[in-house]
Amino acid sequence: MNEEFTQEPVRYVEFDDSGNIFTFYASDVYDEIPESAIPITFDQWQMFLTDTSRWKLDGNEIREKTQEEIDEEIANRPPPPPRGPTETEILGERLFDDETELIQTKMENEMLGKTLFDLQTDLMLRGVL
């Protein structure tokens, strides 16, 4: 029997200057792995992938961030950029404006109709019509 031995790929994690996970590498995908990348087990790789923001390189140790650290990171995030209205919001606003204009026109027509009725009644009472 001629069995070929296939080796499990080695996985790596790389951290940014703040100690946060920057990227992952796998030896079966990348020909060159940076020297700063740290080899990790398959289980660690899966665990880190579930929420990369929870993990930090602290010296030579990869550890879970404290709730205090997470809260501080959230508090220090810049606000999201302002966003313009969505197409749905624009269409909704146009529809609202059109409906408002239609209601105003209807009310004006009703008032004009009442005024016309009052004028006709007045003219009839005076014997003009």
SS (H, E, C) 77-120: CCCCCCCCCCHHHHHHHHHHHHHHHHHHHHHHHHHHHHHHHHHH
Mean pLDDT of the chain, nearest integer? 91
Q: What is the mean pLDDT of residues 48-52?
A: 94
Residue 53 — very low, low, confident or very high, per pLDDT cuts 50/70/90?
A: very high
Indicate the residue type of 109.
N
Q: Within 13 Å, how many C-alpha atoms sit on residue 1's CB side?
A: 3
- Total number of residues shown for the chain: 129
Contacts of 48 (CB under 8 A, 6+ apart): 13, 21, 24, 40, 55, 62
Per-residue pLDDT for 72 more than 80?
yes
| 0.85 surpassed by pTM | no
| pLDDT bracket for residue 94 (50, 70, 90) | very high
Span 81-110, average pLDDT: 93
pLDDT category of residue 30 using cuts at 50, 70 and 90: very high
